[in-house]
Amino acid sequence: MADDNDHRIVSQVPSVPDSDISLSNVSRRAVLKHAAALGAGAALSLRPLFAKLPRVDSNTTHGRIDVHHHMLPPFYMDLRRAVPDVGKMPAWSASKSLEDMEKNGVSTAMLSLAVSGVTFDAGEAGRSLARKSNDFGAQLVKDHPASFGLLAALPLPDPKGSLAEMEYALDTLHANGIALLSSYGDKWLGDATYEPVFEELNRRKAVVFVHPNAPNCCVNVLPHVPASTMEFYFDTARTIESLLLNGTFSRFPNVQFIFSHGGGAMPILANRMARLFPKDLASYAPNGVLYELKRQYYDTASASNPTSLGAIMSIVPSSQIVFGSDFPFLSAGEVVSDLMHSGLPGAMVDAISRDNAVRLFARMKG
């Protein structure tokens, strides 16, 4: 959890509209030009230059949009309690979500089920878990239409059940997008059995939020190291590679993916993935591997620190980065504070905090 310091930092910052930011002896235009010349990643190293400036993005009237915000419904917590040796979850309620959002200038949170300990199987239990989760989330959206959106769960090990749930979630519940896991059992998202699901997601121009999971192969590889410490990051990179190798990105270009945690380990591996992409599969990435990586979206949850943000921004344009907190595991205040101190230009912070997500979700509507 972020500590109280984060909130204190946020609350001390004066409200400075973006247009009021002036740089003593350095015009905003010059700094933007400088940042552009160096590349977005290099802009992070401009911290000393920005140190004395009014901090930006403190104007919460526009509201941040949090694309990585979990709900832990009571029925889900009951299921977890029946599983031996699962870790603890933080206490969650809709009012706790709203409180953290209010404190940190988040106007809208896109809710997704936190999946850990209990996951989707390919039978009736998987379908029931997805349906209950989606009905629960839709009710929260109905109760708080100005604050919540919904990224609906699918029981993906079961493509037929997933197609039925997608129709219900998008057409009846009017969910804003779909939330998938990086893997199910030992299958990653590019798996051929999932093709009909991505075909339909593509037809609908759906936003697909991809949250990490620990695949069967890689649970407890190192004892005492929770999956969230390392494996989540590797599994996110693995599923991105799976989507590349099976041509899912290139064949279904209207699916708008958001990968959690800045793409996990992907930014570090991107150039290697491009250089070593199998030549006999080149037709699956006709515009190149980096082209496909650069047009996906990535969230800031646990990826807003200078090292992680610098890594992802060295691979993708800032237009592809969206605000994510990972509440209730972390407070949105952590990302807010990191972005405010990142040294990035105010317009870029605003885009990451809100504008990029507005554009992304509007495209789905169209």
Q: Which residues bind Zn ion (CB under 5 A)?
A: 326
CA distance 67 to 354: 10
Residue whose CB is less far from Zn ion, 60 or 302: 302
Residue whose CB is less far from Zn ion, 264 or 343: 264
Question: Minimum CB separation from Zn ion for residue 213, in Å?
Answer: 10
Residue whose CB is less far from Zn ion, 56 or 153: 153
Question: Minimum CB separation from Zn ion for residue 126, in Å?
Answer: 20
Residue whose CB is less far from Zn ion, 90 or 317: 90
Question: Minimum CB separation from Zn ion for residue 68, in Å?
Answer: 6
Please write down the long-range contacts of 220-229, taking CB distance under 8 Å and 24 or more positions apart: 226/87
Question: Minimum CB separation from Zn ion for residue 206, in Å?
Answer: 19
Residue whose CB is less far from Zn ion, 55 or 68: 68
Angle between helices 266-275 and 306-313 (to 10 degrees): 30
Question: Minimum CB separation from Zn ion for residue 70, in Å?
Answer: 6
Q: Are 165 and 178 in contact (CB under 8 A)?
A: no
CA distance 198 to 272: 26
Count Cα atoms within 13 angstroms, Cβ side, for 354: 15
Q: Are 316 and 352 in contact (CB under 8 A)?
A: no
Question: Minimum CB separation from Zn ion for residue 83, in Å?
Answer: 18
Tokens of 272: 């290697």
Question: Minimum CB separation from Zn ion for residue 247, in Å?
Answer: 28
Question: Minimum CB separation from Zn ion for residue 180, in Å?
Answer: 13
CA distance 259 to 251: 18
Question: Minimum CB separation from Zn ion for residue 154, in Å?
Answer: 17
- Which residue's CB comes closest to Zn ion? 326
Q: Are 133 and 80 in contact (CB under 8 A)?
A: no
Residue whose CB is less far from Zn ion, 80 or 204: 80
CA angle 230-304-211, nearest 5°? 50
CA 333 to chain CA centroid, Å, is 16
